[in-house]
Amino acid sequence: MQKVIIKSSVELTREQKLKLETGLNKVASDIDYIIDEELIGGIAIIDGDKTLDATALQDLVDMKRLTDKLVYESMSKGIAIKDIPNLLKERAKDIIDNKLDFKICGKVISAADGVVHIDGLNNCCYGELLLIGNDAFALAMNLTKDSIGAILLSSSSVGYGDTAYATGRIIEVPVGDTLLGRVVDPLGNALDARPAIRATQSRRIEFPAPGIVDRAKVKQSLSTGILAIDAMIPIGKGQRELIIGDRQTGKTSIAIDTIINQRDKDVICIYVAIGQRAAAVSKIARTLEERDALKHTIIVLSTASDAAPLQYIAPYTGAAIAEHFMYAGKDVLIVYDDLSKHAVAYRTISLLLKRPAGREAYPGDIFYIHSKLLERAAKLSPELGGGSTTALPIIETQAGDISAYIPTNVISITDGQIYLEGELFKAGQRPAVNVGLSVSRVGGAAQTKLMRLLSAQMRLEIAHYRELSVFAQFGSSLDDTTKEILVYGAKIVEAIKQPEYSPLGELQEEIYLYAIVNKALKNVTVNRVREFLEAYYKYVVAQAPEMCSEIERDGALNDVNEQLLKKLTSDFVSAFK
């Protein structure tokens, strides 16, 4: 028969032992009395998998929870900070007067691979932060009849028999301007060589997405500075645009170029690295700093060596930081690099928690965890400040298979996708965007009138070129019209090539497009296309600065400016030839 263990800070008197034996309906041989000097005061009764904790340590935990709660209420409900000591005194009196109100805590029955199973703890809620031992924290993920499954959020050692407490809180992370230019972990701790982060505000990592009535129409452009994307797959503020492709096809480069392009546009950027190599993220941070873009960027880093729970919460931490700025009326760009690794981390957690596995061993709610994350990106209505969060999730495919489980899930959640093709990348096209498989479902509404008109024509030209180039590979005889389409199509492809970390301004993109669509490259050789476009843009800006200002202001060409630009183009083509 298993004995009952009674812990106390000092040896109990005979009378006290007799009262306990009577109350527990046990004889002395059924009870082991243990002296534990760390308890400070009070007793703890352990009967198998149940623990009745009436120690002073538990009271201190209760006081800590109450203090946190009162400080939170002081900020959210208007309780004055000066009133908190009096409220704490009242609570302390309640604890003293009700010593027999035992608190039930839990006990760790297994701990491995960042996952713990806890017996007891009947007052726990899903997603609640748990305290295990003295300094280890975990997140409750599984609530079953017999036990609670939780994921560890700290590196503290946790073992069988450790006591677990419910804190009554959801995970919060620091937010605010103090994080700008910093590299932090998923819990908001600094990872760079600078001083610790001292934020005055925090926010829950889990938060409901804005409702339909709280959203406004996507109608402002978020320029990436990449001609191929801004012209044919435009992104609007508040949109969720997926970047998808095989490994090493330039997915991260597109995201970094977009962040660099926001440096003078009052857009705050958040780069969430999930399961990435620390050296690769360090290189990205240096690149942003060299291009004066780190000052408006926050990097949330969970490396490949981090435990699966930290990789799982990383994108939610980034979303919480973004929401703080969005609800303050600011525009935010957030990059999730990448959600494929996030799905793998969640699968690892779910399997360790012994959840039923579905397709490809992923749990049944894998779609839900990504949808609740990406739905938090939105353009808010003017009544809520008009802020926005634009999400660029990244998904890695295997051998170009976009019909796999996770890619199809995320494609169905987002508002379009930028598909990067490995074959185009190997052929030297940068970015390697496949125009046929890429689409933006709402970004066209955010384009300027001029950009929308020109890009529609260029998309048709490229599609026609790609279609004919397939047949041209067979070496069959081609008529002059087909040859002309193939030759000019090759020049358009060359024109939309762009080196890394060299984003273009919106006016520059429109001037380039005008030259491409109006056949200004007809007599230019392919190897001189980039040279022609750069010289053409400088010429137009120098010759007609007022026209350029009007195009930037109105986003359109009036009849007078159109005639002027046509003449400038003709003059430059003649001079360049």
For residue 55, report the phi and psi dihedrals to the nearest 5 degrees: -90, 165
> At 184, which amino acid appears?
V
SS (H, E, C) 424-446: HHHCCCCCCECCCCCEECCHHHH
What residues contact residue 10 under an 8 Å CB cut-off, 6+ apart? 35
Question: What's the rounded Cα separation, in Å, for the pair 230 and 504?
Answer: 10
The answer to whether the CB of 101 falls within 8 A of the CB of 111 is no
Describe the strand order of the beta sheet including 331-337 as a list of residue ranges: 183-184, 297-303, 267-276, 331-337, 388-396, 242-245, 416-420, 439-440
Half-sphere exposure of 415 (CA within 13 A, CB side): 23
Active-site residue, 198 included: no
Q: Exactly one of 441, 452, 466, 530 is catalytic; which is it?
A: 441
Question: What's the rounded Cα separation, in Å, for the pair 222 and 392?
Answer: 11
Phi-psi map region of 339: left, alpha, beta (phi>0 left; psi -120 to 50 alpha):
alpha
The answer to whether the CB of 422 falls within 8 A of the CB of 432 is yes
540 CB neighbour count, 10 Å cutoff: 23
Pairing of strands 416-420, 388-396: unpaired
**Nearest partner of 221 among 526, 512, 448, judged by Cα:** 448
**Nearest partner of 256 among 536, 501, 7, judged by Cα:** 501
The burial of 27, by beta-carbon neighbours within 10 Å (0-12 exposed, 13-18 middle, 19 or more buried), is given as exposed
**Nearest partner of 504 among 253, 255, 258, judged by Cα:** 258
Give the residue numbers annotated as catalytic, written as ranges: 441
